[in-house]
């Protein structure tokens, strides 16, 4: 995905934007949303936005307790 590519290239702010867009279009799929929130949390952490990262981790776990990353 574009978010993963941006993250791997070190473009973390761009990755956040891609994950946010993906969530807007696919929020009904709980497993997919959990992955997006977890990935966005990693991007937020890389940007040192720890509060946002924690919030997204909490959302990911609430959506899918079996998903961990």
For the chain, the domains span: 2-63
Mean pLDDT over the full length of the chain: 93
Residue-wise pLDDT tens digits, 44-53: 999 999 999 9
Structure-token pair, residue 14: 């761009």
Percent of the residues in the chain that have a pLDDT greater than 90, as a whole number? 80
H helix or E strand, kind and range, residue 16: helix 12-26
Tell me if residue 29 falls in helix, strand or coil: coil
Percent of the residues in the chain that have a pLDDT greater than 70, as a whole number? 96
Nearest to 2 by CA among 31, 25, 27: 25
* Cα Rg of the chain (Å, integer): 11
2-63 is classed CATH 3.60.15.10 = no
């Amino acid at each position: 995905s574009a978010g993963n590519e941006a993250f791997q290239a070190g473009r973390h702010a761009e990755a956040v934007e891609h994950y946010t867009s993906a969530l807007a279009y696919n929020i009904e799929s709980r497993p997919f949303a959990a992955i997006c929130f977890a990935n966005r949390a990693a991007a937020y952490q890389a940007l040192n936005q720890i509060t946002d990262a924690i919030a997204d981790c909490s959302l990911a776990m609430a959506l899918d307790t079996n998903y961990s990353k």
